[in-house]
Amino acid sequence: MRAAGTPLAWKYVLAAAQVKSQASAIAETARQLRDGAYNCFATQDDLMWHIEVGLVRDQFWVSIFDRSGCVQSLRANIDIHASYLVRVIVGLALFDRSRLGYDPSLKSLPSGGRTIAVKDIEYQVIKTLFISDVLRGRGTVCWRCRTLDAGLDEEEDVVVKSLWADQSRAHKEAEFLQAAADIEGIITLVAEETVMEGDNPRSTATIRQALQDHDRAHELDDIEVRHHHRLVLKPFGLHLEYFTSKKELLSVLKDCVEAHEKLVYEKHILHSDISDNNVMIRAKGTKDGLRRGLLIDLDYASFIGEKRDRTAIAHRTGTLPFMAHEILRMGDEIPHEPHHDLESFLYVLIWTCVCFAGPNCLYRQNFDITKTRIGRWLDLDARMDDVGAAKEKIMCAPADGTDDKFPGFLDEVCDPYFEDLKPCMCELRDVILGEVPANPREMHVNVSEILQRHIDKLSHPDAPITAKSNTSTGGPSRKAPRRRKATGQTDSEALTTDGELLHTELDDEEVAQMKRLRLIQAEKKRRKPAVAPKKIPVPAAPTLPPAVSAPVAGPSQLLRRARGTERSDAAIVGRLRTSEQAGVRDTYNEDALERERERRQGVPANYRLSSSGQATKRRKLD
């Protein structure tokens, strides 16, 4: 179901149903309902919950998805309870958007834009920057916003962050940001609020209140309660892939390492979630001609010395490829230390050298990451301790100094553009994965010194390099850069947005279309109008469109899969696909990681740990 006049795309789906004729298709239908909910959450930035109906032969049920999971009604017989089904269908058809799960606090302007209010200050939404692609969890959404009285002044731009925070956690992100307010390189908190509905906070528990009198209501006790929070943050930042030179890349990384050092040793806060999404570039302001680094997202930080939350492992849905090998192998058996975060910084640098072939989002092409050793880090079916062991084998130098696999690993996976950064990565590896010094802060100092030494050797912009053949390494074609399109943009909008920062990948065919369009525009400007002699028209011979092969999944798509679920084509360019075509998977969602943590503690597969630490039998509402 979608609003009248809207395209056939997940972005416009208000509610959905799956209808099957065979009684054996219940499990398949449930999966497709989940996949549909995922696609709606991944493409709609104002969705709080989503309603779907399953209809299999003579049975039907209703599923409601939110950021704490799914609540499913009992299955009912259509012949016996036909009136219930009619009430459901009519209700979905007549509900306003807020009853269907859409946030009423995002208001549309007559001009077509939207506004959002935080702490009674109204902001105009300029662009959707990020939508979380995990069904259960924080559900983070970020918008680039501007106060209504700021006009066109980009200096006043802020980021409004919306998330559903687990109330069982001891501290919220705002507390850590307030404590770190005077640290340069840490994003600044402008305002924060808990979204209210009347006198009560907006909560995932609200949907479940109707079940409190049910004889199985106790099964809800171990489901986390999440409240809706909003934060206003500044300055506005860009993803690391927008670096303009290798010198700027290392400089941004150094800024974030130094901010992390102050966070740890002056504020006693450990970030614990370093990834490529959290190391950013300041959009405005430079030092020595280089833009500065910005460390964001303290959602899962902790105060050093405090006992970690029970869910500390389960949260890392988005950062599995960047986790330290010890944390992957041993989980809660060891404390998270500052050097583990430094190891994650190193993985951010390695990942950048693997995914890109140059500055300004120049994506690597003709490179199959799954055929390299780093592909093991993205293995959806592997256990976390196996992934950690694979990392350890590559990253850790043997004690006797023989058979060090790390230099060869860099030769195998890094693009030739980053050739002169390999010595830097080797030095960083030796310090970060070497012996921890008696004064742990020395490791941060040593890392900063290594980065600065290599920054001084590089030029900005990059010095010209001699073209190399990438055939042997499977490297990229420099002639076909892959840029990003803003979340929510149509293909035509992206093609007419020349020079703007883009945020979602274009596929190869769209890149080709963009090139053809620009060539045509340039040719029209070059030519002067002339009167051509009349010719007898001759019908052109019909031509077939060029064959386009299906694109091979690149590093960014594979990383999304390792983050929990692969964002489907529908989520990228708004095309409607079936759940099977979308390739949606949830092997590494938050619940799966929580079960992995419990498995290590000896909890049987069909049990889970309650908040009191007792093993209780898993039961499913159906």
* Average pLDDT value for residue range 144-152: 84
Between 320 and 339, the more confident residue is 339
Q: How far apart are the C-alpha atoms of 311 and 567, rounded to whole Å?
A: 25
CATH number of 105-234: 3.30.200.20
pLDDT at 465: 54
Q: How far apart are the C-alpha atoms of 26 and 30, rounded to whole Å?
A: 6
Share of the chain above pLDDT 90, in %: 52
DSSP string for residues in 472-521: TTT---TTS---EE-TT--HHHHHT--S----EEPPHHHHHHHHHHHHHH
Q: 50-56 and 16-20: which strand pairing?
A: parallel
Lowest mean pLDDT among 223-237, 348-362, 485-499: 485-499
Confidence of residue 541 (pLDDT cuts 50, 70, 90): very low
pLDDT at 613: 57
Q: What does the domain layout of the chain look like in residue ranges?
A: 10-94, 105-234, 238-477
* Average pLDDT value for residue range 230-246: 94
**Highest mean pLDDT out of 325-329, 344-348, 370-374, 485-489:** 344-348
Say which residues have a Cβ less than 8 Å from residue 233's Cβ, sequence separation at least 6.
158, 159, 160, 161, 177, 187, 188, 189, 190, 296
Residue 412, token pair as written in the block: 């195998």
15 in Cβ contact with 3 (< 8 Å): no
Residue 258, token pair as written in the block: 């130094």
Residue 275 buriedness (CB in 10 A; 0-12 / 13-18 / 19+): buried
Confidence of residue 605 (pLDDT cuts 50, 70, 90): low
The separation between CA 56 and the C-alpha centre of its own chain, rounded to angstroms, equals: 34
Whole-Å CA distances, 256 to 155, 174, 296: 22, 19, 9
152 in Cβ contact with 126 (< 8 Å): no
Mean of pLDDT over the chain: 78
Specify the 3-state DSSP secondary structure of 593: helix
Q: Would you state the CATH architecture of domain 238-477?
A: Orthogonal Bundle (1.10)
Q: Report the chain's C-alpha Rg in angstroms.
A: 26
pLDDT at 30: 93
